[in-house]
Structure 1
Amino acid sequence: MSAAVQIEYCTQCRRLPRAAWPAQELLTTFETELTELSLKPGTGGVFVVRVDGEVVRDRREQGFPEPTAVKRAVRDRVAPGRPLGHSDRPGGSGPPCVSP
């Protein structure tokens, strides 16, 4: 499945870095599933993540999402069942990966 993701963020709140971080994570994780990822400047405290136009995370309804919550929400639409490693753990964190 190919999908377009949009992250709308508040310029008044200076949320560009908080939008860019999950955008980078999504592009890295879903290299073949995403056809597009856009950052849309907004105002009024907005922070909304959409997949193919459908809202999957909205700060006003669910609170400000951590990048792992954004990854899970997008994964559930574009690659259901795909494991996300540390992101699938409760709280979305864990010890860092250690390469052998």
Structure 2
Amino acid sequence: MSKPELRITYCTQCNWLLRSAWMAAEVLTTFGLEIGAVILVPGTGDIFEISLDGELTWERRRDGGFPDVKALKQLVRDRIDPGRDLGHIDSHGKAG
């Protein structure tokens, strides 16, 4: 079974490369063994999209800005390893 691929498409005109690279590094740090690839795709026209295995999971205009690291890691986790505990990221606001 192949590992999932995360694709971040970012606007070069808006200088969102560093934000995208930082998000990619965070995903790879947390899911280094579970994810097959993180791909940065340069674009234009105010675009910022994150897709996982071809399914759009975050779109800046649709979802109201950029995801914070917590939201991004939870989106990835919920798709590739739903039972996984993300430690301190999951501890805030958890009923229990």
Shorter-chain TM range is: 0.7 to 0.9
* Structure 1 portions without partners, runs of 5+: 91-100
Q: Tell me how many residue pairs correspond in the alignment.
A: 90
Q: Which amino acid aligns with 1:50?
A: S
With normalisation by structure 2, the TM-score equals 0.86
Match of 1:57 in 2: 58
**What's the % identity of the aligned pairs?**
50
Match of 2:13 in 1: 12
The whole-number CA distance in structure 2 between the counterparts of 1:81 and 1:43 is: 36
- Asked whether the 8 Å contact 1:10–1:41 carries over to 2, the reply is yes
1:4-33 deviation per Cα after TM superposition (whole angstroms, max 9, x unaligned) = 110111111000111011100111111111
Match of 1:84 in 2: 86
With normalisation by structure 1, the TM-score equals 0.82
Q: Which amino acid aligns with 2:73?
A: K
* Structure 2 portions without partners, runs of 5+: none
The whole-number CA distance in structure 1 between the counterparts of 2:6 and 2:47 is: 16
The whole-number CA distance in structure 2 between the counterparts of 1:45 and 1:3 is: 26
Match of 1:73 in 2: 75
Deviation at 1:80, TM superposition (A): 0.8
Q: Which amino acid aligns with 2:68?
A: E
Deviation at 1:74, TM superposition (A): 1.0
The Cα RMSD (Å) is 1.3
Comparing 62-71 with 43-52, greater Cα deviation is found at 62-71
